[in-house]
Amino acid sequence: MTIKSPGHHDDDDTSYHCNMFVGATISMWHRQENKVETLYNLFEWIMPSKYAPGVASNIAVWNDQSDMYCAGDLTTNSGSDASWLDYHHVSSVSTGPDGDFIVSLRNLDTIIALYANGTGPMWVLSSAFSKEELKETFPKTATIFNFKRNADRFYSAHGVMQLANGDVMLIDDGNSRQGCTSRNNYMGCFSRALIYKLNFTEHTVDVAWQFEDPYGLEALKRYGEGEGLDADRAGEEGWTQTMTHDQFNFDGGSVYRLASGHNLVAFTSLFNNRAYNQNYSMYAWEADGTTAEARSTIIVPHGTDAMKTSGGYRMTPWNSIHGERSMLDTLDSN
């Protein structure tokens, strides 16, 4: 099968195509025996023969970065019949509260929960595929979720994990979001951290929490309503402000739940499409777990020779590096 770039990002990229696909498997390493056991082949439920033609026009990362995501000898075979397309591109695998696997397929804007014992998928949430499409390949025992609002969809997810209460937390980088295009230097692109609440009765998901920088969608909506706009118009104005002013993390990023109940959000690969961050500095925030307001901010500058080519991918919270601890612990115990 040949996939040609339909120019979602770059209209002049008409020569790029891949006619072979590289997919992903989920494996378990048994450390005591030093053996690797393959549990899942993701082509079993999402395969290019069925989905590639319809999805290729919507997935920006395939078209915008064609050489990077065609595997093989790119020097001689880029754009040729020997190019391989990175179909699933697993951006994260984490364990849920019950020890099962939460798998993010970045190139397909899809999250799958898999039983850790290898017996199959538990549920799936996708911004790229409809419920009807997923029903054709996923077993009837798997729950297929729908978004209540299109505005809640995620794109190029990273750092996906399931919290103890069952909510799903992730970074929505925003590639492939409507309005995100290279034609205006990505000025309509923005990223956010999200927490989804899963409703297993109605098979729907709602956004329970979200963080953007520097303008928050919910805060902007409340402000618009305070200025006399109806809810729909206030929401539209909020999206316009966010898309054209907030930071765009074009790859990677992370969000972690802290012991305090707040969330550590990191945009580690920021694009310099905003005047206030022209040198791609990495940002991290301690975001309030309820209001999503930034309680504290860390900025890590890039060297001028490392623009967009190197830097961080995640920021991981550590309680201690070499046994340090807060003096407050000692004072409280006394």
pLDDT for 334 equals 45
pLDDT for 49 equals 62
Residue 177 lies in a domain: yes
pLDDT > 70? residue 144? yes
d(CA 217, CA 223): 10
Distant-in-sequence, close-in-space partners of 290: CB < 8 Å, separation ≥ 6: 209
Per the model's pLDDT, the better-predicted residue between 5 and 132 turns out to be 132
pLDDT for 56 equals 44
Residue 238 lies in a domain: no
Mind listing the pLDDT tens digit for each residue in 280-310? 889 999 999 999 999 999 998 876 665 555 6
Residue 99 lies in a domain: yes
- Give residue 102's domain range: 3-212+247-333
Per the model's pLDDT, the better-predicted residue between 323 and 205 turns out to be 205
90-95 and 101-105 as β-strands: parallel, antiparallel, unpaired?
A: antiparallel
d(CA 238, CA 171): 20
pLDDT for 223 equals 86
Residue 97 lies in a domain: yes
User: Do 283 and 299 contact (CB within 8 A), yes or no?
Assistant: yes
The model's confidence at residue 275, banded by pLDDT at 50, 70 and 90, is confident
Average pLDDT over residues 252-271: 94
Residue 230 lies in a domain: no
Averaged pLDDT score across all residues of the chain: 82
pTM: 0.84
**Position 130: which residue type?**
S
pLDDT for 172 equals 97
Mind listing the pLDDT tens digit for each residue in 176-191? 888 888 778 888 899 9
Token couple for 323: 């046994």
Mind listing the pLDDT tens digit for each residue in 92-134? 999 999 999 999 999 889 999 999 999 999 999 999 888 998 9
Per the model's pLDDT, the better-predicted residue between 143 and 237 turns out to be 143
Mind listing the pLDDT tens digit for each residue in 40-50? 999 999 887 66
Residue 240 lies in a domain: no
Helices and strands, number each (H, E), in the chain: 7, 21
pLDDT for 328 equals 64
Number of compact structural domains in the chain:
1
Residue 222 lies in a domain: no
The model's confidence at residue 219, banded by pLDDT at 50, 70 and 90, is confident
d(CA 264, CA 246): 18
CATH code for the domain in which residue 145 is found: 2.40.128.630
Residue 326 lies in a domain: yes
User: Do 193 and 171 contact (CB within 8 A), yes or no?
Assistant: yes
Q: Minimal CA–CA distance to 303: which of 283, 272, 281?
A: 281
Q: Minimal CA–CA distance to 172: which of 197, 189, 186?
A: 189
Q: Minimal CA–CA distance to 129: which of 149, 114, 144, 151?
A: 144
